[in-house]
Amino acid sequence: MTNLDQNNDIEVKYASLPDNVKEAISSVDSANKIQAIAKKYKLHIDQTGELGTQVGLVMLGILAPRDFVAALAKELALTPELARSVATEVNEQIFTPIRDSLKKIHHLEPGTTETPEVKAESPISSFMAKTTEPTLTNKEKTVLTPADLASRPKKDFDPYKEPIE
Residue 105 lies in a domain: yes
Number of domains the chain is built from: 1
Q: What percent of the chain has pLDDT over 90?
A: 44
Count of beta carbons in the 10 Å neighbourhood of residue 128: 15
Residue 42 lies in a domain: yes
3-state secondary structure of 86: helix
Residue 109 lies in a domain: yes
Residue 163 lies in a domain: no
94: pLDDT strictly greater than 90: yes
Q: What percent of the chain has pLDDT over 70?
A: 62
46: pLDDT strictly greater than 60: yes
| Predicted local confidence at residue 67, as pLDDT | 93
Confidence band, pLDDT 50/70/90 cuts, at residue 124: very low
Residue 131 lies in a domain: no
Please say whether the beta carbons of 69 and 80 come within 8 A: yes
Residue 52 lies in a domain: yes
Range of the domain at 107: 3-119
Mean pLDDT value of segment 143-152: 65
Residue 7 lies in a domain: yes
Residue 152 lies in a domain: no
| Predicted local confidence at residue 152, as pLDDT | 62
- Kindly tell me the burial class for residue 98, based on how many C-beta atoms sit within 10 Å of its own C-beta (0-12, 13-18, 19 or more): buried
